[in-house]
Amino acid sequence: MNLGDDRQRRGVLYPRHLPEFHRLTPPDDLAHALGWFWISEWDLPDGRRSVQQILPFPACNIVVEGEAVTAVGPPTRRSERVLTGRGWAVGALLRPAAAHLLIPDIPALADATRPLDEPALQRRVASAMSDSAAEPAARRSAAAAALAEWIRARAPRPAQGSEGALANDLATELADPSVTRISDLEPRLHASTRTLQRIAARFFGLSLHSMIRRRRLQEAAERLREDPQLAIARLATELGYADHAHFTSDFKALLGMTPSAYRERTEHGE
């Protein structure tokens, strides 16, 4: 299993449950369109299943698997998927400017998926992933290259100063742990809160507040896993919460359990 750096692991609530998982860096000419490619492969014995629980940062994905190509909209809550048997999925985590071009009406796709009629893309990716003569890394690279070519033809680099460019810059700033309030964004991006709220609604399908809250809770889950001795009240303060109770309420609303219960589960090998 190769999860990459801390930012890439952050949304995975129970890393021990993951099947084989890889992230591939996009080529330089697609840095404006993609965060990364991700490829999941699993081969489970009969009767076994792998439960994937994810608290991803709100972003859109294009996913190729089995016999389908799917647009996956921005998630607003924890998601769960149960894997059985044998399979694979090849996905591209889209940056906002590209998502806006590839997925019409992003707000309508929150917590939802939409099939895309792209049989040629599906065949190319499936052919790469099923090439038994190739080394595993070569298969993954070929699959990612096919998806890259498809995105390259449809998502050009946004013009400097355009809304797409601002949306990408906003995504970068929202990933910064030091951003804990909407007011932190104005001086960084040289744009008014009203403008940024409009960009968030159009390109992300979500509010600025909800995205800052999500990133803080992703970080909270990661730190609770990694530091069993970390005081929850201290963590709440460091993440910009006014008090322990507000932090616990937000955490439970999104993850379905309190911070202490989550840490206990991860300490017991979940």
Q: What is the pLDDT of residue 221?
A: 87
Residues 148 and 89 occupy one common structural domain = yes
Q: What share of the chain is helix, strand, coil (3-state, %, to 5)?
A: 45, 20, 35
Q: What does each C-alpha distance from 157 to 32, 102, 116, 153 come to in angstroms?
A: 6, 13, 22, 11
Q: Which residues of the chain have pLDDT under 50?
A: 1-9, 12-14, 17
Q: What is the pLDDT of residue 5?
A: 40
Q: What is the pLDDT of residue 19?
A: 66
Asked if residue 51 is part of any domain, the answer here is yes
Structural domain total, the chain: 2
Asked if residue 1 is part of any domain, the answer here is no
Asked if residue 140 is part of any domain, the answer here is yes
Tokens coding 112 = 């939802």
Classified as helix, coil or strand, 67 is coil
Cα R_g (the chain), whole angstroms = 19
Which structural domain, as residue segments, surrounds residue 207? 163-267
Residues 127 and 191 occupy one common structural domain = no
Classified as helix, coil or strand, 49 is strand
Residues 216 and 261 occupy one common structural domain = yes
Residues 84 and 181 occupy one common structural domain = no
Residues 71 and 48 occupy one common structural domain = yes
- 197 φ/ψ angles, rounded to the nearest 5 degrees: -65, -40
Q: What is the pLDDT of residue 73?
A: 94
Domain boundary at 117, 152, 187, which?
Answer: 152
Q: What is the pLDDT of residue 166?
A: 98
Q: What is the pLDDT of residue 4?
A: 37
Residues 94 and 201 occupy one common structural domain = no
Cα–Cα nearest to 214, from 224, 206, 226, 202: 206
Residues 86 and 209 occupy one common structural domain = no
Cα–Cα nearest to 177, from 207, 226, 222: 222
Sign of CA dihedral 172, 178, 179, 180: positive
